[in-house]
Amino acid sequence: MAQPIQEIEVNQDGTKRSLSNRHVQMIAIGGTIGTGLFLGAGSTISKSGPTILILYAVLGTLFFFMMRAIGEMLYSQPDQHTFVGFISKYLGKGPGVFAGLTYWLALIFAGMSELTAIATYVKFWFPTWNTAAIEISFLAVLVLLNILAARAFGETEFWFAMIKIIAIISLIVTGIFMVMTGFKSPGGATASFGNIFHNFSLFPNGFQAFLGSIPMVFFAMAGMEFVGITIGETKNPRKVLKKAINETVYRVLLFYIGALIIIMSIMPWTSITAGNSPFVQVFKLAGLPAVAAVINFVVLTSASSALNSVLFSSGRHLYQLSRELDWKPLAKIAKAGIPTPAILFSGALLLFAPVIASIPSINDAFQFVTGGASDLYLVVYLMTMVAHRRFRVSPEFMPDGFKMPWYRYTSPITIGAFVLVFLSLFANPNDVIPATGAIIWVIVFGGYCYLRFRNQEVATI
């Protein structure tokens, strides 16, 4: 019997194409602009000073090329539910299973970093509240939103992301006004673009400190690929894809670099400290504590937004992996087209965040979990770029499609740069354990996956 009122296309796997272009744009921005900017920027500025602007521009360009590589593959095969599926298709089932679990684990670590940041922001107002209770409460609410319906998640994320974008634009506009009027903070600092270049040094705290800031900048950019995960539940995927990828990258670079320029103009970068949001620090030092409280609410919303995107993405990845490996309890779809068991399981693992924060030997839980996420992201990004090279010589390659610019040069440069970013993890004491763990993970679990599925065929190329 025909159902004329049904307007939402249902995929073969049971998920529904209920997300519009505005949802996709905001989910991608929401997944990228989070604690890496609002909290992590304090650490990176204190280590590298104004040089951090160059680092954001360089890494942002690399992410642009990676996104175009992912976009090229998705454009040719928009039925793929996640970009990690291309690793299975072009490198084999073993690498695909390894990449799928690795990326899912990276998302779990990223989610834990957002939970850690959320507790930090809430304690701005309620310093005596229990950290674990704060994290569990926020996690429960966001998991509930994710299992209602994809559109409910999309609408929630749209407004979460809109709040943070308005906050960044407001900061930039306010900062320009303060610079133009020569605003003086109670500490005597005068707002000026000249603060960026005052006593400028390429490596003000030494080259090792600069290397140590690279992982946090990388983590701030990571998550941009979320736009590729939403394509499977998007109307008119090819039409949305081009605009979503290009505009997301441009906007993220504008917001990041623009916000950092304003922050370092309002106050000398030497006054910015790690462990606190520079957004909040700027307004507190400018003598505007009420505005600082508002900004703290905004950055709290931002972390919630990023965690919301992590839950969406991790649930979809675990669901697809469960289907491939026949993990029946996690390979189920609810009536609303939501992989509810996979989302619930992913959310449950995020509860390790307060456990990690309570370990005495870890003196910076936020940096520890971001390091854990970064090294796992890097492994999957590298595998994705290699899969893209195999795609380029496959029958699915579309010469007139959405191609990666200057592929012959940008592909090897991007791969080499990601290797260097991984090596930079060893410049931070808190990142050494996660980076070493990633190497062990690749050797042990990667080797197991290779041996377990080595007889599986790779896509014909």
Q: How far is residue 330's CA from residue 255's CA, in Å, rounded to a whole number?
A: 37
Within a domain: residue 456? no
Within a domain: residue 222? yes
CA neighbor of 19 nearest in space, from 208, 268, 240, 222: 240
Q: How far is residue 234's CA from residue 23's CA, in Å, rounded to a whole number?
A: 9
CATH number at residue 342: 1.20.1740.10
Within a domain: residue 459? no
Q: Does 413 score more than 90 pLDDT?
A: yes
Min mean pLDDT across 203-217, 333-347, 363-377 is at 363-377
Q: Which stretch, 7-21, 239-253, 261-275, 386-400, has highest mean pLDDT?
A: 386-400
Within a domain: residue 409? yes
Q: Which two tokens stand for residue 422?
A: 């991984």
- pLDDT score, position 386: 96
Within a domain: residue 336? yes
Within a domain: residue 11? no
Q: How many domains does the chain have?
A: 1
Give the other-Cβ count within 10 Å of 458's Cβ: 15
Min mean pLDDT across 100-104, 126-130, 149-153, 417-421 is at 149-153
Write down the residue that tokens 């995929």 correspond to. 11
Within a domain: residue 457? no
Give 96-135 pLDDT, tens digit per residue: 999 999 999 888 888 888 888 888 889 888 999 988 889 8
For 166, the domain range is: 17-451
Within a domain: residue 152? yes
Give 165-193 pLDDT, tens digit per residue: 887 887 788 788 888 888 887 667 788 88
Q: How far is residue 339's CA from residue 333's CA, in Å, rounded to a whole number?
A: 5
